[in-house]
Chain A
Amino acid sequence: MAGSREIRNKIKSVKNTQKITRAMEMVAASKMRKAQDRMKKARPYGEKIRNVAAHMSRANTEYRHPFLIERDTVKRVGIVIVTSDKGLCGGLNTNVLRKALNQMKRWEAEGEQLEVCCIGNKGLGFMSRIGANVISQVIALGDTPDIAKLIGAVKVVLDGYTQDRFDRVFIFYNRFINTMKQEPVMEQLLPLTDERIQGVESANERPNTSWDYIYEPEAKPVIDDVMIRYVEALIYQAVAENMASEQSARMVAMKAASDNAGNVIDELTLIYNKSRQAAITKELSEIVGGAAAV
């Protein structure tokens, strides 16, 4: 019976692991619901600010914001990468980092200079390990995508754009499609593309562009404010989506882990019972053999 004790210990340890993965699965499930709510709540703001931006770009503004102006030469690219802070969420971060890396390789081959802003610990770790030029970072966001924490890192990127350090800015994150599916996506942040600006309002478009807002105190600072908030809202939305993706990916991964642990336990129990029976059979045949010899 030397092997059976070891098997029993192994079963116990797998059972403990299973308890942990079960607990993590349930935690992720409840966090996922909250993260999805938050993602949905962020949408009205994004839509409203897009409407304002659309009105503004259509109105006869005397000042055109740099975010709206397409540049001819693209020599330097800013990249915002949104990842999770923690692991144990399947291929979520790997997928988005791989997408980013492939794109970066392509850009580098075209002779463009790259600077990276990392949101989330996993992306930061990866980018600094491979030696990318990280210009700003936010980590330890927690479970709520707090806009106050994002402002600083985003500002570094936006300033880089307005000061001509970048000609374009892209964002990589995981789009939440449903609980089972998340998709790594790349989107252009700056300059703001037409579809981003026009999108919502194009249905009831007013061809008459002879009106303009009254700006208080002045046009430039107000437009600057709106534009910065718009880009922040886009990034916030991306972070919120990425968090919902993270929680659902973790839930799925932990469910798989619990199932696997269950399989392992079943197999080990089978082996344990077999070895127990073998031992009994052996003992019996020894006794019978001994009795026959006498």
Chain B
Amino acid sequence: MGTVFHLDIVSAEESIYSGPVEFLVAPAQMGEVGIYPRHTPLLTRINSGMVRIKAQLKDEELVYVSGGVLEVQPDVVTILADTAVRSHDLDEAKAIEAKRAAEEAMKNRESELDYAKAQAELMEAMAQLAAIDKLRKRKH
């Protein structure tokens, strides 16, 4: 051992790469980093770009990631890839948009939180479902 380490590249939507690797180059935020086995623990953000992977007895492979986080442990390296393009400003804009939409929806709400009404509404829906269930059972 000591000549390879395990690499996982995962995004929230799928697993992109998993397997033993000899050498890896990733576009870290402070500049590209090359990683060999038994690297010291490192945690860094990475920019969008190509990750170069050299597995044993294979040609170099290129994998595109749109940014994320790189975690390095002596024998395990994990890249948590983002699926969305993000930056602080972009996230902020999205948050404001989500808030605005909620406020818009709140404008035409009626009054204070009315538990009795809510409960009644839910109970009605539940009763309907229960009735349908009963009706079905009786038939068979």
Contact = CB atoms under 8 A, between A and B. Distances in A.
A156 B41 contact: no
B119 A42 contact: no
B91 A151 contact: yes
A131 B15 CA distance: 41
B57 interface: no
Contact of B13 (A42, A105, A152): A42
B1 interface: no
A129 interface: yes
A58 to B, nearest CB: 11
Given A213-B43, A216-B42, A45 B84 contact: no
Interface string B88-101: 00011111111101
A147 B15 contact: no
A132 B8 CA distance: 43
B98 A52 contact: no
B106 A128 contact: yes
Nearest to A130: B118
B140 to A, nearest CB: 9
A108 B115 CA distance: 10
A128 B98 contact: no
Interface string B73-116: 10000101011111000011111111101100110111111110
A225 B102 contact: no
A42 B81 CA distance: 12
A148 B115 contact: no
Contact of B43 (A44, A45, A56): A56
Contacts of B13: 38, 41-42, 45, 147
B102 A131 contact: no
B3 interface: no
A138 B30 contact: no
Given A48-B78, A94-B129, A135 B94 contact: no
Interface string B110-135: 11111101110110011001000000
Interface in A137-192: 137-139, 146-148, 151-153, 155-156, 159
Nearest to B84: A148
A136 interface: yes
B38 to A, nearest CB: 13
Contacts of A118: 102
A132 B110 CA distance: 10
Contact of B45 (A104, A137, A146, A221): A221
Contacts of B110: 129, 131
Given A49-B80, A51-B78, A131-B110, A215 B44 contact: yes
A47 to B, nearest CB: 8
A280 interface: no
Interface string A103-118: 0110010000010011
A219 B95 CA distance: 25
Given A101-B118, A101-B122, A152 B41 contact: no
A44 B15 contact: yes
Given A156-B98, A222-B69, A256-B136, A129 B109 contact: yes
B28 interface: yes
13 contacts: A45-B15, A48-B10, A48-B80, A55-B73, A59-B41, A94-B126, A108-B115, A114-B113, A130-B115, A131-B113, A136-B99, A148-B84, A215-B43
Q: Top 9 nearest A-B pairs by Cβ distance?
A: A152-B94, A148-B84, A152-B98, A130-B118, A216-B44, A155-B95, A153-B98, A213-B43, A136-B98
